[in-house]
Amino acid sequence: MLATVFTLMTEAGAYYAFSVSDFVGRSIVIALLVGSVVAWSIMIEKGITLKAAKKESEKFRNVFRNGQPIVTYIRESDKSQCPLARIYEAGAEKLLEFYNLPPEQILVARDAPKVKLTGAQMDALRTVLEGEVSSQIQSLEDKIGWLATAVSASPLFGLFGTVWGIMYAFCSLAIQGKADIAALAPGIAGALLTTVVGLVVAIPSLLGYNMLTLRIRSITVYIDNFVEEFMWRLKLEQLD
């Protein structure tokens, strides 16, 4: 039974189609397989990174809600690599600049200075936060464009290989001077292989792209909400 299955796979499967393909068809199949490895690597890496970013961001947000003055969370932000910590650091550094106070003094005193910020300073602080938000979102979206390229380009490469293979098969048929299925089938099999491999690359890449994009969108909303929370916490401190 196993011998029969192996015979069918080698004689009438993908390996057989690859073996009867020409140089162009084989090159396209190999290129698509390499692209598949790259796409899977990106999906796994980004999936792990985004999951960790969301988890660490939730931890830092819970710490940030402890009720201490805003500038007193610098030490906690140094321990975290999440987007929220980087956004907080950008805002806290600007805030300390307005307070004319070094971070070391805040860490020792654990108290915010009583400095009234002007409207222009508040606007400048928001601009700094939003600029860091853009940087963090760009970091989260790093390499996602490669997945989008794999989704759109893989079927086109597969189609090109199929058209090329069919053309090659009919040219070979014309050279042989006979029209029978035995002469035509190998060329058609090799031609269709590129389409199959193209879809094998494109379908998982599409699913991974959609899932990662949805997760990035969720983290983006999380980040935007943190900026608003940072600003209204600061406004409450200014009132006090």
Do the domain assignments include residue 130? yes
Two tokens, residue 78: 């140094």
Q: What is the pLDDT of residue 110?
A: 53
Two tokens, residue 171: 């040219």
Do the domain assignments include residue 18? no
Do the domain assignments include residue 149? yes
For the chain, the helix, strand and coil percentages under 3-state DSSP, each to the nearest 5: 85, 0, 15
Two tokens, residue 97: 């600049």
Q: What is the pLDDT of residue 68?
A: 77
Query: Which residues span the domain enclosing 34?
Result: 23-239
Do the domain assignments include residue 193? yes
Confirm if 188 and 165 have CB atoms less than 8 A apart: yes
**8-state DSSP, 118:** P
CA distance 146 to 123: 36
**8-state DSSP, 116:** P
Do the domain assignments include residue 10? no
Question: Residues, the chain, total?
Answer: 240
CA distance 180 to 70: 80
Whole-model pTM? Answer: 0.79
Beta-carbon contacts of 141 under 8 Å, excluding residues fewer than 6 positions away, are 216
Do the domain assignments include residue 212? yes
Do the domain assignments include residue 209? yes
Residue 179 CB-half CA count within 13 A: 2
Collapse the DSSP code of 102 into the 3-class scheme (helix H, G, I; strand E, B; otherwise coil) and give the result: coil
Q: Which single residue is written with the structure tokens 């002469």?
A: 183
The Cα-based distances of 130 to 91, 137, 171, 214, 232 in angstroms read 9, 10, 61, 21, 15
Q: Which single residue is written with the structure tokens 């390229």?
A: 149
CA distance 120 to 122: 5
Do the domain assignments include residue 16? no
Question: How many structural domains is the chain composed of?
Answer: 1
The Cα-based distances of 182 to 8, 81, 167, 187, 189 in angstroms read 17, 62, 17, 10, 11
Q: For helices 181-239 and 144-176, what crossing angle results, to 10°? A: 170
Q: Where are the alpha helices (DSSP H) in the chain?
A: 2-12, 14-19, 23-64, 74-79, 83-99, 103-109, 119-140, 144-176, 181-239
**8-state DSSP, 114:** -
In degrees, rounded to 5, the angle at the alpha carbon of residue 18 between the alpha carbons of residues 17 and 23 is 125
Q: What is the pLDDT of residue 103?
A: 61
End-to-end CA distance of the chain, in Å? 82
Q: What does each of the 240 residues of the chain score in pLDDT, given as a tens digit?
A: 334 433 433 445 666 777 777 788 888 889 999 999 999 999 999 999 999 999 988 888 888 888 777 777 777 777 778 898 899 988 888 888 888 776 655 554 455 556 788 888 889 999 999 999 999 999 999 889 889 999 999 999 989 888 888 887 777 777 766 666 666 777 777 778 888 899 999 999 999 999 999 999 999 998 999 999 999 888 888 776
